[in-house]
């Protein structure tokens, strides 16, 4: 350590012995070295940033910035890409802090806002608008969690119901979805979004949901009418179509080869349930069910005396004789018979869907034959006779019915063999950790090369130059004046004398050498 300090002091002492130009050059070089060294240090220490998996807009940007500030994490906001970037080493920590804080990828407003009890003086209109807004935010957050969706914005039009009118306007919804590239035309995602919104809003039909992407393309039109069937009906239709496709494929594969045909079956089904009740009577077959007979007999004496007058006297003999005269009577009989007529009842209920029409399309690859001229395999179209046989086989398989409107199309074409590109992994030299370590190593190498350059240019120039040997004094040199043994003996004596002089008075010898150097 002491020797290093001594060398540095000697270099500084010798520096002031040079002229002004060299000293200025040395000071400028040292200053540039310090500046470049500090810049290199800051460049090596500056972190590499990686974006957070959040779509940032004006609603959640403040929440994300607040949570990152609490965690002491550096960040950069890119307004063009709507992203927030953090250092690679703090990426997992930032995602964990945002998840714990409940910061979502979209709007932070939700139905939880309705639990706020400090909302005094709010009218029914404001409460209804606040509820709709909270429902929109929750639906947007739920849709954003679907794979392939970066962000979503939901608008609901829910009219007020009038209890005094039977004709109420039905609700509707519109959704703007920011899809990940490659998911814009995924029917399953679009269908799930429609069903999700329709099930979340009372009275909302799937047909009243409109979906557009970030480019303004109308996506609801890519769904056909079958998309609005219920799930059981749709599953039954798909399973029936796949059943016919498998049957056709297993039948024609031995003729055309494996993976040499592409088959598509479309079946139009009638899911209407039919109920039938029938009651029939047979008048020729009768049976007595019940019989009732009624018989009545009545009798009465003839009237006597003065009509319209009552008598208190006892009746005379003549009157008594009149009372013993014959009396009058009545009789009545009634008979009722009930007959049971033969009756039959039939009740039928049909719940099995009926096939309206079946349409089948088959594309068959051409045969590959060897071309004798080029000695290569070339495609050869199938004959019309073979195509007709394939058409008849397909018709027999599906139970073709021309009255029902069935269609079968068989086409011969060349299949293009395309190589399936496997998703390429990110090269290791493009990963953030590799870039971080590369920058550290590159900084060390650059610093070492810079110090080496400074040493070569400045430090080494201050070292004393070695004295060149005079050729005429070199031993063993050939020439006109050769060294004799006497001269060698004399030189040895002079060297011995100088050694003794150095041992006796070294200061004097040093002063003599300094004078030589100065001269």
User: Tens of pLDDT along 231-248?
Assistant: 677 778 888 888 999 999
Is residue 257 domain-shared with residue 386, that is, in the same domain?
yes
Of 116-130, 324-338, 393-407, 434-448, highest mean pLDDT:
393-407
**Residue 360, domain member (yes or no):** yes
**Residue 365, domain member (yes or no):** yes
Question: Does the pLDDT of residue 284 top 60, yes or no?
Answer: yes
The string of DSSP letters for 412-439 reads EEPPP--PPPPPPPPPGGGSHHHHHHHH
* Low-confidence winner among 71-75, 128-132, 215-219, 347-351 (lowest mean pLDDT): 347-351
User: Tens of pLDDT along 86-140?
Assistant: 887 788 888 888 777 766 554 444 454 454 444 555 677 777 888 888 888 889 8
Question: Does the pLDDT of residue 465 top 50, yes or no?
Answer: no
CATH code of the domain covering residue 76: 3.30.70.1530
Closest by CA position to 223, among listed 176, 181, 264, 190: 190
**Residue 507, domain member (yes or no):** yes
Is residue 55 domain-shared with residue 117, that is, in the same domain?
no
**Residue 289, domain member (yes or no):** no
CATH code of the domain covering residue 156: 3.30.300.30
Domain boundaries, position 502:
471-518
**Residue 297, domain member (yes or no):** no
pLDDT band at 175 (very low <50, low <70, confident <90, very high): very high
Between 376 and 284, the more confident residue is: 376
CA of residue 240 relative to chain centroid, distance: 30
Looking at residue 479, what is its pLDDT?
46
Span 501-515, average pLDDT = 76
Q: Treating both helix axes as pointing N-terminal to C-terminal, what angle do 91-101 and 61-70 enclose, rounded to 10 degrees?
A: 120
| 49 neighbors 85 (Cβ within 8 angstroms) | yes
Question: Does the pLDDT of residue 368 top 60, yes or no?
Answer: yes
pLDDT band at 321 (very low <50, low <70, confident <90, very high): low
- Could you tell me the end-to-end alpha-carbon distance of the chain, in angstroms, rounded to an integer? 34
Is residue 139 domain-shared with residue 186, that is, in the same domain?
yes
| 337 neighbors 290 (Cβ within 8 angstroms) | yes
Mean pLDDT, the chain, whole residue set: 74
Is residue 83 domain-shared with residue 125, that is, in the same domain?
no
| 365 neighbors 415 (Cβ within 8 angstroms) | yes
Between 190 and 27, the more confident residue is: 190
Is residue 72 domain-shared with residue 221, that is, in the same domain?
no
Decide which of 83, 101, 119 is a domain's last residue: 101
Question: Does the pLDDT of residue 42 top 50, yes or no?
Answer: yes
Decide which of 174, 208, 228 is a domain's last residue: 228
Is residue 36 domain-shared with residue 73, that is, in the same domain?
no
**Residue 340, domain member (yes or no):** no
pLDDT band at 361 (very low <50, low <70, confident <90, very high): very high
User: Quick one: CA dihedral 437, 442, 443, 448, positive or negative?
Assistant: positive
Is residue 199 domain-shared with residue 159, that is, in the same domain?
yes
The count of domains in the chain is: 5
**Residue 283, domain member (yes or no):** no
Is residue 86 domain-shared with residue 171, that is, in the same domain?
no
**Residue 418, domain member (yes or no):** no
φ and ψ of 502, to 5 deg:
-65, -35
Is residue 58 domain-shared with residue 96, that is, in the same domain?
yes
Q: pTM value?
A: 0.35
Is residue 203 domain-shared with residue 250, that is, in the same domain?
no
Decide which of 207, 228, 249 is a domain's last residue: 228
Span 430-437, average pLDDT = 65
Question: Does the pLDDT of residue 319 top 50, yes or no?
Answer: yes
Is residue 122 domain-shared with residue 249, that is, in the same domain?
no
Looking at residue 214, what is its pLDDT?
84
User: Tens of pLDDT along 397-418?
Assistant: 888 988 888 999 999 888 876 5
Of 183-197, 216-230, 334-348, highest mean pLDDT:
183-197
Is residue 9 domain-shared with residue 83, that is, in the same domain?
no
Question: Does the pLDDT of residue 333 top 70, yes or no?
Answer: yes
């Amino acid at each position: 350590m002491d020797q290093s300090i001594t060398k540095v002091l000697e270099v500084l002492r010798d520096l002031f012995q040079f002229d002004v130009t060299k000293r200025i050059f040395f000071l400028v070089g040292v200053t540039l070295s310090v500046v470049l060294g500090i810049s290199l240090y800051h460049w090596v220490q500056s972190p590499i940033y990686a974006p957070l998996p959040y779509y940032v807009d004006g609603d959640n940007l403040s929440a994300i910035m607040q949570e990152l500030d609490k965690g002491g994490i550096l960040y950069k906001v890119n307004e063009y890409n709507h992203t927030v970037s953090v250092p690679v080493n703090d990426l997992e920590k930032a995602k964990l802090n945002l998840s714990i804080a409940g910061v979502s990828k979209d709007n932070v407003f939700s139905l939880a806002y309705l639990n706020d009890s400090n909302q005094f003086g709010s009218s029914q209109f404001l409460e209804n608008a606040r509820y709709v807004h909270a429902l929109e935010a929750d639906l947007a957050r739920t849709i954003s969690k679907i794979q392939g969706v970066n962000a979503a914005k939901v608008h609901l039009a829910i009219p007020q119901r009038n209890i005094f009118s039977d004709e109420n306007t039905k609700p509707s919804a519109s959704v703007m979805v920011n899809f990940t590239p490659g998911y814009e035309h995924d029917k399953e995602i679009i269908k799930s979004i429609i069903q999700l919104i329709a099930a979340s809003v009372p009275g909302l039909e799937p047909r009243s949901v409109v979906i557009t992407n970030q480019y303004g393309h109308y996506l609801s039109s890519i769904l056909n009418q079958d998309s609005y069937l219920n799930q059981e009906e749709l599953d039954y239709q798909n399973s029936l179509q796949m059943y016919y496709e498998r049957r056709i494929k297993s039948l024609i594969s031995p003729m055309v080869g494996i993976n040499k045909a592409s088959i598509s079956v479309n079946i139009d089904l009638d899911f209407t349930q039919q109920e039938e009740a029938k009651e029939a009577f047979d008048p020729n077959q009768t049976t007595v069910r019940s019989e009732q007979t009624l018989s009545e007999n009545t009798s009465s004496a003839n009237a006597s005396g003065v009509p319209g007058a009552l008598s208190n006297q006892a009746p005379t003999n003549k009157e008594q004789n009149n009372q013993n005269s014959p009396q009058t009577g009545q009789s009545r009989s009634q008979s009722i018979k009930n007959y049971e007529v033969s009756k039959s009842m039939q009740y039928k209920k049909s719940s099995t869907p009926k096939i309206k029409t079946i349409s089948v399309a088959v594309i068959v690859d051409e045969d590959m034959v060897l071309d004798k001229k080029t000695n290569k395999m070339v495609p050869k179209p199938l004959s019309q006779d073979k195509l007709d046989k394939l058409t008849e086989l397909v018709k027999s398989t599906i139970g073709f019915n021309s009255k029902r409107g069935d269609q079968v199309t068989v086409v011969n074409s060349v299949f293009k063999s395309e190589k399936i590109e496997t998703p390429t992994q990110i090269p290791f030299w493009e990963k953030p950790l590799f870039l971080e370590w590369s920058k550290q190593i590159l900084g060390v190498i650059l610093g070492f090369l810079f110090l080496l350059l400074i040493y070569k240019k400045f430090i080494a120039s201050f070292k004393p130059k070695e004295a060149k040997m005079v050729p005429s004094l070199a031993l063993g040199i050939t020439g006109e004046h050769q060294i004799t043994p006497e001269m060698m003996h004399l030189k040895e004596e002079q060297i011995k004398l100088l050694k003794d002089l150095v041992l006796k008075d070294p200061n004097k010898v040093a002063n003599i050498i300094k004078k030589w150097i100065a001269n």
